[in-house]
Amino acid sequence: MTNFNFQVTTGLLPKFEPSIAVNLLIPGIMVAVAVDFTTGVPMTGLYRSLDGGANWSNSMLPLPPGFTGAEAPVVAYGFPSTFVVTAHVFPGASDGTTVIYKSTDNGATFSPPVIVNSGYGVYINNDETNVTIDVGQSSPYLGNTYVTYNHQFNVANGGNSTAFFSRSRDGGTTWDQPIVLSSISDQVERPDVAFDLVGTVYGAWVTVNTPSRFFVRISLDGGTTFAPQRLVSEVTPVPTVLPVPGYAFRVLTFANVSTDRSSGPFSGRAYAVWQDFRQGYSDILMSFSDNTGTSWSSPVSITGAPAGSQNFFPAIDVDPLLGVVNIIYYSNQVNGFLLDVYVARSINGGQSFTNTRITNTSFDPNAGSVTPVTVIGDYIDISSVPPGGYIGIWMDTSTGAQNIVAGYSDTVIT
C-alpha cells in the first residue's frame, strides 16, 4: 500500500521548515515539527501520528520564559519510545538560544525546554539546529544525543558563523562543553550530524565564503574528540533567490549526511548530499565514503532532472535495515515555475537512483500572493520507515496557504 499527500496542518497562517522522525520499533508512530504561526508568532508546531501518517494531532511546544519566538525545529528518535526536539528560540532579531525538549512516551508529552547553548545579545546567536540520537545497532554510545547548530558571533558588526557540536550523555538533561567543528575564518550555514552502525559520529557543514566547500569531521569516541576536517567536495552555492521569474524565496545551501547501518553490502557507507549550481542550475549532488570519511567519491547528480530545472532543499535518510538511500527534494521540473516534491531512492549504494514525483498536485510557492513570498522555509525532511519505506514531509501551498504535508510509502523497491 502506498499513500501520498496526507495533510498534516491546515489554516491560513504559515507553517514551514518541517522535520520528521519515526519510532523504529513501532513505525506507525511518527512525530513531526515545523515553524508554526498559528498563534500569530513563530512557535514550534508539534504534530503526532499513530497510524503511519494518515492522521495527525496538532499542538505547540511552549517557549522558555523570556523568549518570544522559535524557528529551525528538528526532531529525532531514540530507543525505545523517546523523541527529542531542538529549536532556535529568541526574544528578538538576535540573542538566539538553542534548546531541546524530550518525550519518553512516544511524543504524547514533552519536558520543559532545556538550554543546550545560550545566546547573548548581538554577540552570540545559536541558529539552524540539527539533532540526532545514536540508535546504532552495534554502537557503544547508544542513546547519546548530538546537536549541531550555526554559532553566529559578533552578529551586529560583521562577525562570522561556525559549526558547533554539543553532546548529552544523559538523554538531554545536561550538556558537555561544546566543540567548534569549523574554522573561525570560514562562514558556515546549518551543519548536520549523523552516526553509523558502530557509533562513529559525522559532523558536516558547508562553507559559504569563497571557495565554498563541504567538510566533515569524524569522531570515533562518541563525540569526545574529532579528527581534522576532511574535504568532501568543492561546492558552487545556489543563488539565494533562484533565477526563476516570480521567485523571491531564499534558498540556502546546507550539508546533509547519513550512513548505512544495515547488514547489507554497503554497510558503513556514509553519504553526503547538497544542492549545487555548478551546471548553471540547482541540482542535487551526492558523494559517498567507504573509509569512515577519509576520502569521498566524485559528486554525481541523483535527480535525472532536465537541465535548467531547479532542484533544491535535499534531505537524506538511509534505511537502517535494508540500506535503501532515500533523498527528498523540491523541483520545478514539471512546468518551470510550480513546485513538486520528488524522492530519489537507491538500493545499490547510490550507484543509481529511481526518482518519483510524490506530490499529487504542483503548487505555487507564492500561494496566490500578488507579491512573491520571501520565505518558504529553509528545508524539508524525510525519514525511513523500515523495512524499505519512507515518510517525507514538506511545506505545500495547495490549500492556498503555507501548510505541512506528508507523503508515505511502504513500497520496498528492488
Number of H helices, E strands in the chain: 0, 28
Q: What is the DSSP letter of 175?
A: -
3-state class (DSSP) for residue 359: coil
Per-residue model confidence as pLDDT tens digits over 354-380: 999 999 999 999 997 889 999 999 999
Q: How far out from the chain centre does Cα 221 lie?
A: 24
Q: Is the pLDDT of residue 1 over 50?
A: no
Burial bucket for residue 155 (CB in 10 Å: 0-12, 13-18, 19+): buried
Residues 340, 130, 251: CA angle, nearest 5 degrees: 40
391's grid cell: 515518510
* Mean pLDDT score of the chain: 95
* 95 compared with 117, residue with greater pLDDT: 117
Distance (Å) of CA 221 to CA 135, 144, 225: 15, 11, 7
Averaged pLDDT, 157-170: 93
For residue 90, give the amino acid letter: F
Distance from C-alpha of 7 to C-alpha of 363, rounded to nearest angstrom: 14
How does strand 30-36 pair with strand 43-49? antiparallel
**Rounded CA separation 380/394 (Å):** 5
Instruction: Evaluate if residue 120 carries a pLDDT over 80.
Output: yes
User: Which range among 1-10, 67-76, 148-157, 264-273 shows the weakest confidence by mean pLDDT?
Assistant: 1-10
Percentage with pLDDT > 70 across the chain: 98
What strands, in cross-sheet order, belong to the sheet with 97-103? 69-78, 82-90, 97-103, 114-117
What is the rounded CA–CA span in Å between residue 286 and residue 288?
Answer: 7
Give the residue among 414, 404, 408, 406 at the shortest CA–CA distance from 385: 408
The confidence band for 347, taking pLDDT boundaries of 50, 70 and 90, is very high
pLDDT of 276-308, one tens digit each? 999 999 999 999 999 999 999 999 999 999 999
CA 159, CA 120: separation in Å to the nearest integer? 14
CB of 395 closer than 8 Å to CB of 24: no
User: Could you tell me the pTM of the whole model?
Assistant: 0.97
Sequence spans of domains, the chain: 2-409
Give strand pairing partners of 396: 403
Residue among 308, 278, 315 nearest 395 (CA) = 315
End-to-end CA distance of the chain: 16
Give the mean pLDDT of 198-218: 97
Cβ proximity of 395 and 402 under 8 Å: yes
pLDDT (mean) for 181-197: 95
Whether residue 127 contacts residue 136, with contact meaning beta carbons closer than 8 Å, is answered with no
Q: Strand order in 213-219's β-sheet? A: 192-195, 201-206, 213-219, 230-234
Beta bridge partners of 383: 391
Lookup result for grid cell 569524524:
218
Residue 103's beta-bridge partner residues?
83
Torsion of CA 136, 169, 314, 378, to 10 degrees: 160
Q: Are 237 and 253 in contact (CB under 8 A)?
A: yes
List alpha helices for 145-262, DSSP H. none
Helix (H, G, I), strand (E, B) or coil at 363: strand
Report how far residue 31's alpha carbon sits from residue 113's, in angstroms, rounded to the nearest whole number: 17
- Amino acid identity, position 405: V
The CATH number corresponding to 2-409 among 3.40.50.720, 2.60.40.420, 2.120.10.10, 3.30.1490.190 equals 2.120.10.10
**Burial (Cβ within 10 Å: 0-12, 13-18, ≥19) of residue 50:** middle
**Which tens digit of pLDDT belongs to each residue from 126-158?**
999 999 999 999 999 999 999 999 999 998 887
